[in-house]
Structure 1
Amino acid sequence: MSAINALPVVRHRHVDIDGVRVFYREAGPQDAPTLLLLHGFPASSHQFRRLMDALGTRYRLVAPDYPGFGHSDAPRPASEGGTFDYRFDELAEVIAKFCDALQLQRFFLYMFDFGGPVGMRLAERFPQRIAGIVVQNANAYEEGLSPMARALVALQPGEAAERELGQLLTLEMTRNQYLGGAGDPAHIAPDGWTLDQHFLDQPGRKQMQRDLALDYRSNVARYPVWQAWLREHRPPALVLWGRNDAFFPEPGAHAYRRDLPDAEVHVLDSGHFALEEEAPRIAMLIDDFISRVGQR
């Protein structure tokens, strides 16, 4: 009988953060180097399932769902008289407390899409905890904003914004985010966009996403702060980028070298959801990166 490489045990849990049940997936030895996996829009920790299988015997991998995403609670938004303000500051606050609850004292950040603004806010708050960063199509530079992204940043609350954002939350658009720019669409399972749309279609969740979209301008306003943080702290950095990303084009990847000259940049023949298509290669690159950098 041929040998089969061991697969990790992946645990699926919730933790209470100020009354919000935050769902997370976790794999790997508790004493191994830790990788905090921050998902994007409109995804959840589900997007990291293959990465956890690939790396979960060597590293501790922790992947939470933000409030209003995936299997986490979705408190009624403050914009409709509820208790939770769906802004990036608030998402980052929840994830900061999540890190405290799980006693994550030193870790690598994997930041994808929305995970960029959440992760960089976390880095501002806990610079001593950041062992390194893995950036996958998570923008922090003006040149990484496409016309589509700039149009989102320019949106003002009102009926026009409601119409524009309504189109962004459809099954067709969710599917296109996964397949757009893919080198080979046959490598991308339909499960991701199907599950994402299932959660988007839950009662009240589209309003939460509209609130976050209208707050996206706050991220662009913080780009200079994040760039200064990168220059000051010089974290080891691995930048992975699907070159055919219609939202965050390739120049956004190379811009990181302006503030992190030693950053390792790999441009992949894929789109925005490059991990869905390039998981084997990305896993090998991350394994090589963390094994060299360690927990210094």
Structure 2
Amino acid sequence: MAAPAMAQTAPVAPAPATAPAAAAPAAAKPFVAPWLSVAELRKRYADAQSRYMTIRGVEVHYKDEGPRNAPVLFMVHGSLSTLRTWDVITARLKGRYRIIRYDIPGYGLSGRISDQVAATVQPVDIAEELLTRLGVKKVTAVGVSSGGTMCMYLAAKRPDMVERLILSNTPSDPVDTSHLVMPKAFTDGIALAKVRGGYNDRAYWDEYLGFFAGEAARISKRTRDEYYDFNRREPEKHPVALVARIGDGQQATIEMAKVKAPTFLVWGAADPLLPESAANAIARYLKNAQINRMLMPDVGHYPPLEVGERFAAWIDTYVVAGTPKAGATPAPTWAAPRRH
């Protein structure tokens, strides 16, 4: 932020009559945002595991790793994120699970969204068709933030496919940000982006990730760099068309009531946006599902980014031992001890 102009304390002497007229100050150069095209992002971030599939008229970037005959984990990232949300967890678990994850179109390395796709394709259609075309019959669907919303909608639509849900810091009511108390550096960054056509600089993403973390130091430099790069992808005309949303909550409530798959809530209770009360709310909406929960009081909105190793351990524990079997005694509700 520029320092305020100092008050002039003495008059300026007039220039001699013979002096040439002062040149007019040069006009400030307009700001040019350093956007990255999808092609540039692919050149920078695609790797040997990157695959592409055209679904309903949009190109989807996905990864499919691990043994073909192993239990399948289907992982969905949240808004403003990419499938790289799950890198640590994939590295930890792909030896004994088949892990499928994808970039929601409009994000990451997936293609751009046309007017026709935005008007005719539902977000859950992409997830469902990706799994169907990969020949997958059963999955444990794992989602964080709006990625959890996608997983709930998939479970509601395809109860035959979704064996269980693992949800992390997922909204169940229309999202309200009015209670957030943001540091000045964060609000300054938001204001600056408005005059820069939506472009957020690297410093903004440091503030963003730090604000939503339980402990900012846990968010690696690599993750911060990736958030900056992927969120300077050339702007989309329909940026959230294929993101699963709660909207006004009316249809979402109906869909959540359809979910019967056993559900494990792995929750960052230090999340300023969706704290423990949001975990309680989603448990009420999923009234026909058996709920287990793990509350992590030191973790914020993005547990897979902040405590990936811990999150992977909870996934493995639940899939192996925590899922209730037909006719069995209900599994206990797990909760981390509260801080006092």
TM range (shorter): 0.7 to 0.9
Range that drifts further, 106-115 or 258-267: 258-267
Corresponding residue number in structure 2 for 1:4: none
Decide whether the 8 Å contact of 2:172 with 2:246 is kept in 1.
Answer: no
Corresponding residue number in structure 2 for 1:29: 67
Corresponding residue number in structure 2 for 1:249: 275
Decide whether the 8 Å contact of 2:152 with 2:165 is kept in 1.
Answer: no
Q: Residues 68 and 248 of structure 1: is their aligned pair in 2 closer, same or farther, counting only changes over 3 Å?
A: same
Range that drifts further, 166-175 or 132-141: 166-175
Q: Residues 97 and 170 of structure 1: is their aligned pair in 2 closer, same or farther, counting only changes over 3 Å?
A: farther
Decide whether the 8 Å contact of 2:171 with 2:246 is kept in 1.
Answer: no
Corresponding residue number in structure 1 for 2:172: 140
Corresponding residue number in structure 2 for 1:267: 295
Matches within 5 A, 1:48-197: 48-76=86-114, 78=115, 83-85=116-118, 90-141=122-173, 145-147=176-178, 171=202, 173-197=204-228
Q: Which amino acid is the alignment partner of residue 291 of structure 2?
A: A
Corresponding residue number in structure 1 for 2:53: 15
Partner Cα distance (1:148, 1:24) in 2: 36
Normalising to structure 1: TM-score of the pair?
Answer: 0.77
Structure 1 residue aligned with 2:312, among 255, 258, 283?
A: 283
Q: Residues 107 and 279 of structure 1: is their aligned pair in 2 closer, same or farther, counting only changes over 3 Å?
A: same
Decide whether the 8 Å contact of 1:238 with 1:289 is kept in 2.
Answer: yes
Where structure 2 has 5 or more consecutive residues not aligned to the other structure, the ranges are 1-47, 181-192, 327-340
Normalising to structure 2: TM-score of the pair?
Answer: 0.68
Measure how far apart 1:251 and its partner are.
Answer: 0.9
Decide whether the 8 Å contact of 2:122 with 2:242 is kept in 1.
Answer: no
Measure how far apart 1:202 and its partner are.
Answer: 2.3
Where structure 1 has 5 or more consecutive residues not aligned to the other structure, the ranges are 1-9, 150-161
Measure how far apart 1:94 and its partner are.
Answer: 1.6
Partner Cα distance (2:74, 2:231) in 1: 24
Corresponding residue number in structure 2 for 1:152: none
Runs of 4+ aligned residues of structure 1 deviating over 4 Å after TM superposition are: 166-173, 210-213
Partner Cα distance (2:139, 2:162) in 1: 5
Measure how far apart 1:186 and its partner are.
Answer: 2.1
Partner Cα distance (1:285, 1:111) in 2: 14
Q: Which amino acid is the alignment partner of residue 191 of structure 1?
A: R
SS of the residue 2:136 aligns to = coil
Partner Cα distance (2:295, 2:200) in 1: 28
Q: Which amino acid is the alignment partner of residue 62 of structure 2?
A: Y
Backbone CA RMSD of aligned residues = 3.1
Corresponding residue number in structure 2 for 1:222: 251
Partner Cα distance (1:223, 1:111) in 2: 16
Partner Cα distance (2:125, 2:290) in 1: 30
Partner Cα distance (2:248, 2:301) in 1: 18
SS of the residue 1:67 aligns to = coil
The structure that is helix-richer by fraction is 1
Partner Cα distance (2:119, 2:271) in 1: 25
Range that drifts further, 176-185 or 238-247: 176-185
Q: Residues 249 and 70 of structure 1: is their aligned pair in 2 closer, same or farther, counting only changes over 3 Å?
A: same
Range that drifts further, 169-178 or 18-27: 169-178
SS of the residue 2:149 aligns to = helix
Q: Residues 256 and 92 of structure 1: is their aligned pair in 2 closer, same or farther, counting only changes over 3 Å?
A: same
Q: Residues 219 and 239 of structure 1: is their aligned pair in 2 closer, same or farther, counting only changes over 3 Å?
A: farther
Partner Cα distance (1:71, 1:64) in 2: 9
Range that drifts further, 25-34 or 188-197: 188-197
Measure how far apart 1:55 and its partner are.
Answer: 0.7
Decide whether the 8 Å contact of 2:146 with 2:245 is kept in 1.
Answer: no
Measure how far apart 1:170 and its partner are.
Answer: 5.9
Q: Which amino acid is the alignment partner of residue 70 of structure 2?
A: A
State the number of aligned residues: 263
Range that drifts further, 247-256 or 266-275: 247-256
Identity %: 21
Measure how far apart 1:204 and its partner are.
Answer: 2.7
Structure 1 residue aligned with 2:262, among 226, 236, 243?
A: 236
Q: Residues 47 and 217 of structure 1: is their aligned pair in 2 closer, same or farther, counting only changes over 3 Å?
A: closer
